[in-house]
Amino acid sequence: MKRVLVADGLQAVGVDALRKHGLDVEVSGSLGEPELVERIGEYEGLIVRSATKVTRPVIEAGRRLEVIGRAGAGVDTIDVDSATKRGVVVMNTPGGNTTAVAEHTLGLLLALARRLPAADVTLKAGRWEKNRLQGVELLGKILGIVGLGRIGSEVARRALGFRMHVIAYDPYLTREAAERLGVESVEFDELLARADFVTIHTPLTGDTRHLLGAAELERLKPGVRIINCARGGLIDEQALARAIQSGKVAGAALDVFEQEPPPADHPLLKLEQVIVTPHLGAATDEAQTAVALAIADQVADALLRGVVVNAVNLPSIDAETHREQAPYVGLAEKMGRFLAQMGEGRMQEARLTYAGEIVGRPTATLTLAFVRGLLGTILSEHVTDVNAMLIAKARGLRVAETSTSESSDYASLVTAEVRTDRGATSVAGAVFFKREPRFVQVDGFSLEAVPQGWMLVFANLDVPGVIGRIGTLCGRHGINIAGMQLGRERRGGRAVSVLNLDDPMPPAALDEIRAMPDIVLAKVVKL
């Protein structure tokens, strides 16, 4: 039974769901690095929220770790690069808290415009400061949204309901897509110059850290108000404090900080123009239930069924696509394992060609399965779909894909070729009726071989007696032949045969075959 460690107080419905899936679950509170390093080695899965930091030492200590699940969207508390190198899947639940964060953003937007927190504090302190606390209306104001993804789009829809004019900057969104939402797409500098309110909804990366720094704050429209419910670090907090103190920025509403909780002497906490909440964007009953159930199902699917959804370091497919692709994924992995054992010399390039109906489906998972099979067969290190491409790159192996909608003999055909410094070897495969994979070509010779178990592959000159001598040898060594496929170029030319064996062939028997007249090569492959 696979084990999962749950930290940071995942809701009980999520824990119950994990157990119903048949996983052994242990629940703890937030863990520091030393505690997590000490405990993680016994678990295949780890689920965290935002408090527990999953660092490189933690990942290296997780010798059995397969999946890290984040019950939420941001993964900046997880060392994704280290996880990828170790072949560990990192997944999140990007959609579960969309409504909660969008509503919190609008709540802060309204509170900032009407100065609600200051009004509440002063009135409770016995002061009636109606004239001093005059606000502004949202009607007709320009809201600038940085990042028009799931949350940014929901904020835009709600802001349009307040009859604001919404402009947005998102380098990954087409102008047409923004316009369909009723949003004007602009460049970043134009957004800074025009917006009365700015709200940020981007991930925190090396490129987006201090997205609003001193220079950007200086280019903002005077009197602008800023909201951040995304990630601390997107705004230079010291520069923002100075911009508010100078009057350039009229106010800010922040749900997130670079350091959480922020230090007591943080300059932004001392400004009445700043509204703060303690990272409450996703803190609704509905959102926490949704993300708990979502991450439980995702982790269980990954650990028990090999279905990966919402991974940040691996192409994801849904369960239905996984079911359809499963025979091809298995075929691709076996093709990689086959070529790893057939080839000789240092591998330089692997080339996959997809033909026919399969071109209309996702093929990235098939390529990963092939590379995993290829490298996992010859390397001692742990190779998974997550780190297969990194390992290939580190070893100088080029991986290329081509595709064509035409396939003459099969509805879908996958062809793989591995080139080494001593030549090239290829195999092609298809999935037959009842979802059964077959090798249909070896080095260009047509045949129909079952890719399983022990396989004797040999090439020979097509002359009488070769097959009989090999059959006799197998009988003499007590090796039963379970199946045989033969392909040849022409009579008297060259031929390739694949024999499925019930038992492994002793090295001495293989040497006898290689010494036979008319044998060009002979290999034993284990799939």
Instruction: Tell me which residues are annotated as active site.
Output: 231, 260, 279
CA distance 457 to 499: 6
> Do residues 13 and 292 make contact, with C-beta atoms less than 8 angstroms apart?
yes
> Do residues 44 and 21 make contact, with C-beta atoms less than 8 angstroms apart?
no
CA distance 15 to 25: 7
Residue at token pair 């639940």: 93
CA distance 315 to 308: 8
Which whole-number Å values give the CA distances from 242 to 229, 245, 292, in the listed order? 20, 5, 40
Q: Which two tokens mark 142?
A: 């320009």
Q: Phi and psi (nearest 5°) for 498?
A: -125, 120
CA distance 142 to 197: 6
With vertex at residue 512, the alpha carbon angle to CA 508 and CA 514, rounded to the nearest 5 degrees, is 115
> Do residues 399 and 416 make contact, with C-beta atoms less than 8 angstroms apart?
no
Tell me the CA end-to-end span of the chain in Å, nearest whole number: 26
Q: Which two tokens mark 393?
A: 């790159």
- Helix 285-300 and helix 98-114, axial crossing angle in degrees, nearest 10: 150
The count of residues in the chain is 527
Q: Which residues of 364-373 are buried (b: 16+ CB within 10 A; e: fewer)?
A: ebbbbbbbbb
> Do residues 426 and 441 make contact, with C-beta atoms less than 8 angstroms apart?
yes
CA distance 282 to 292: 12
Q: Phi and psi (nearest 5°) for 427?
A: -150, 145
> Do residues 182 and 166 make contact, with C-beta atoms less than 8 angstroms apart?
yes
CA distance 140 to 163: 6
> Do residues 382 and 86 make contact, with C-beta atoms less than 8 angstroms apart?
yes
How many other CB atoms are found less than 10 A from the CB of residue 64? 12
Q: Which residues of 105-133 are buried (b: 16+ CB within 10 A; e: fewer)?
A: bbbbbebbbbbbbbbeebeeeeeeeeeeb
Q: Which two tokens mark 492?
A: 């008297």
Give the residue from 30, 29, 31, 27 showing the smallest Cα distance to 18: 27
Give residues with Cβ within 8 angstroms of 25, minimum separation 6: 3, 4, 6, 15, 18, 19
> Do residues 416 and 367 make contact, with C-beta atoms less than 8 angstroms apart?
no
